């Protein structure tokens, strides 16, 4: 049976870092952020609905979605965020389920669903075990500000659009603490994979 792991975290907690480690070990990762990008490509249903609601102001010159502009709207307003989520999330869910089915048909031992909003969107029924990439809040703000060149306020606003990592800690099956070095993170991941494969 394929073991389905739900990988989650908070913005800039290190999910992509861990998901890349899974990929390097040839473990399939179904990436919700990537799918959320694919389903809003020009001409797709979600793209049309986004332009219809948010207007052409959120488009770049080449008509692709200006993600920074759309982000600044939806992270400032819960109402607008819900509208965007309602457009994008059903499409993301469909595609994630179909990619997971393929991994199951291929009898892969482990498949990882990388879902930032695993708890916020109540998607835990899709997975057997959950794994949180955790960092302290001060580390999270600092890494987010550095990675995205955000001000402190911009970073905090995005973090506040999600359940806190402290709250997620109480809900998950497994935790990787990513406050330390990348090497320390990989060591924790290796241990977990061995546990799952019962080595
Ligand atoms: C608002 C958008 C255009 C901003 O794009 P941008 O390239 O700046 O960010 P990116 O997509 O890489 O997301 C970065 C992180 O932001 C957080 N985030 C994204 N969307 C949301 C949301 N609706 N609510 C809370 N956190 C979110 C996640 O932690 C995600 O990993 C984009 O995030 C988006 O389309 N969001 C809606 C779809 C969604 O919920 N995606 C997240 C997983 S399905
Ligand atoms: N252990 C670490 N030590 C130092 N920097 C790290 C560590 N882990 C991740 N980072 C850095 O922190 C930032 C956030 O990490 P990453 O992009 O993996 O987070 P994420 O959870 O995938 O973010 P998002 O939710 O925005 O997609 C990146 O710039 C990354 O290089």
Q: What CATH number has the domain bearing residue 86?
A: 3.40.50.300
d(CA 157, CA 187): 32
Please state the atom number of ligand 1 nearest to the C-alpha of residue 74.
1
In this prediction, does ipTM exceed 0.90?
Answer: yes
> What's the 74 CA to ligand 1 centre distance in angstroms?
9
pLDDT surpassing 90 at residue 198: no
Domain membership of residue 123 as a residue range: 3-196
Number of domains comprising the chain: 1
d(CA 23, CA 30): 10
For the segment 158-182, what is each residue's pLDDT rounded down to a tens digit? Answer: 999 999 999 999 999 999 999 999 9
> What's the 108 CA to ligand 1 centre distance in angstroms?
28
Kindly calculate the radius of gyration of the chain based on its CA atoms and give it in whole angstroms: 17
Q: Are 152 and 146 in contact (CB under 8 A)?
A: no
3-state DSSP assignment of residue 74: helix
Let me know the angle formed at the C-alpha of 158 by 181 and 40, rounded to the nearest 5 degrees.
100
Mean pLDDT in residue range 89-96:
96
For the segment 34-85, what is each residue's pLDDT rounded down to a tens digit? Answer: 999 999 999 999 999 999 999 999 999 999 999 999 999 999 999 999 999 9
Percent of the chain with pLDDT over 70: 99
d(CA 36, CA 41): 9
């Amino acid at each position: 049976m394929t073991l389905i792991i739900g990988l989650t975290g908070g913005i800039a907690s290190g999910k992509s870092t861990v998901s890349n480690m899974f990929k390097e070990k040839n473990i399939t990762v179904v990436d919700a952020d990537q799918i959320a990008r694919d389903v809003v490509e020009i001409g797709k249903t979600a793209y049309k609905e986004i332009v219809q609601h948010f207007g052409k102001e959120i488009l770049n010159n080449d008509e692709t979605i200006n993600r920074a502009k759309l982000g600044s709207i939806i992270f400032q307003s819960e109402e607008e965020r819900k509208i965007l989520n309602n457009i994008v999330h059903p499409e993301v869910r469909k595609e994630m389920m179909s990619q997971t089915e393929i991994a199951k048909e291929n009898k892969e031992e482990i498949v990882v669903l990388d879902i930032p909003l695993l708890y916020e969107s109540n998607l835990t029924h899709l997975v057997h075990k959950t794994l949180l990439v955790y960092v302290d809040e001060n580390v999270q703000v600092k890494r987010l500000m550095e990675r995205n060149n955000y001000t402190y306020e911009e970073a905090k606003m995005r973090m506040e659009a999600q359940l806190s990592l402290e709250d997620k800690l109480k809900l998950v099956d497994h935790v990787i603490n990513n406050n330390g070095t990348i090497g320390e993170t990989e060591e924790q991941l290796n241990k977990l994979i061995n546990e799952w494969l019962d080595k």
